[in-house]
Amino acid sequence: MSKDALLVRRAGLQTTVQDLGRPGYGRYGVPLSGAMDTESLRLGNMLLDNPAHTAALEMTLVGPELEALGSLDCAYTGADMNLTVQGRRIQTGRTFGVHEGDVLRFGAARVGARACLCLRGGVDVEPVLGSRSTAVTAHLGGLEGRPLLGGDIIRVLEPPAGTVPLVRVLPRSLLRYYGPETKLRLVEGPQGAEMRGALELLLASTWTVSGRSNRVGVRLDGPLLPMRPRAWRTEGVPIGAVQVPADGAPILLLADRQTTGGYPKPAVIAAVDLPAAGQLRPGDRVTFTMVTAEVATDLLRDREALLRSAHPDGGSAGAIATTIAALEASAITELEIRRSALAFKWQRPKLD
């Protein structure tokens, strides 16, 4: 079951419903889609004890204004968009609660491009091919396959019975820091050997993110990469591919990318850096460094191990409920517990 959760009073620049995407359908021409910064989505869901694939709102550059239609537990991660709730500033990387009539106002992102608003239980829209994510270019999934508009109603699924959320703040060890300069690690792509000169120039240059970037790809301004006039084979396009079209200006292909293409791809972004690529904004400067596939795999494995160590194991709901009941019966007003890399914080609710 689900219930009305939020009224969209102002939609922002581009706010969409996203989860971790719909893998497995590329052979049919269906893009992966999903959050551009999947790690921010996963962390927001972790804070609320939602499954990692739970759908949330992804906001781009300028966020929306939303009105709560009931009491909700929320988590806010990714780029800092100056969120306020009833005038109270909410920091990114934490949970917070809202009540009926509360207004959530997101501003422009200070650094980075995208923020996630996760709701306990998750955004309820009709799944398409196993995912609630919005493929904007394909008009598929999400809310009618489009970004949110003023007047839309966001519904939320009821969370599992018996779970009790805690007030939590993400520890610094899990936060990524966005800024005007980003270095991305690359592995050699399908045409790396055939485009050695272009690959060397790509690594030696500093690039600027173009204002023509979108969820399909981040376009880069800088020196034009050399292209040999030839017919390249059409093949599958991996997420994070650095594609070089006929004009020589590289494109980083991301969540809504095409599934096949005939332009060469001398490099691919290492999977561990895909969340950082999803946070690039117009005007940011980008440099690249090359790593082997083995190093890229180790980097991803280490990052995943850190994320797993920060997540409480399943079956904790009963213990959490018992702990909170004991705290409420005591004279304690605030308690913080650090377990592995994640900080748990409990505060006695203030009486109205």
Count the helix, strand and coil residues of the chain and give each as a percent rounded to the nearest 5: 20, 30, 50
Decide if 125 is inside a domain.
yes
Are 293 and 324 within one domain?
no
Q: What CA–CA distance (Å, rounded) separates 38 from 28?
A: 23
Are 134 and 159 within one domain?
yes
Decide if 132 is inside a domain.
yes
Q: What CA–CA distance (Å, rounded) separates 307 from 106?
A: 27
Read off the tokens for 267.
Answer: 């490099």
**How many Cα atoms occupy the beta-carbon half-sphere of 36 within 13 Å?**
33
- Enumerate residues 6+ apart whose C-beta is below 8 A from 104: 6, 65, 66, 67, 68, 74, 83, 84, 85, 98, 117
pTM of the model: 0.86
In tens, the pLDDT along 68-91 reads 999 999 999 999 999 999 999 999
**What's the confidence (pLDDT) of residue 169?**
85
> Which domain range does residue 215 map to?
181-302
Distances (CA, A) of 212 to 112, 220, 221, 341: 16, 9, 10, 38
Are 31 and 82 within one domain?
yes
In tens, the pLDDT along 121-167 reads 999 999 999 999 999 999 999 999 999 999 999 999 988 765 555 55
The domain that contains 283 carries what CATH number?
2.40.100.10
Q: What CA–CA distance (Å, rounded) separates 9 from 12?
A: 9
Region of 164 please: left (phi>0), alpha (psi -120 to 50) or beta. beta
- Enumerate residues 6+ apart whose C-beta is below 8 A from 346: 166, 167, 323, 324, 327, 334, 335, 336
Residue 250: pLDDT band with limits 50, 70, 90: very high
Are 39 and 166 within one domain?
yes
Are 154 and 90 within one domain?
yes
Region 32-59: mean pLDDT is: 95
Residue 177: pLDDT band with limits 50, 70, 90: confident
The residue written with tokens 């399943």 in the block is 314
Are 199 and 160 within one domain?
no
Are 206 and 147 within one domain?
no
End-to-end alpha carbon distance in the chain:
30
Are 94 and 159 within one domain?
yes
Number of domains composing the chain? 2
In tens, the pLDDT along 257-298 reads 999 999 999 999 999 999 999 999 999 999 999 999 999 999
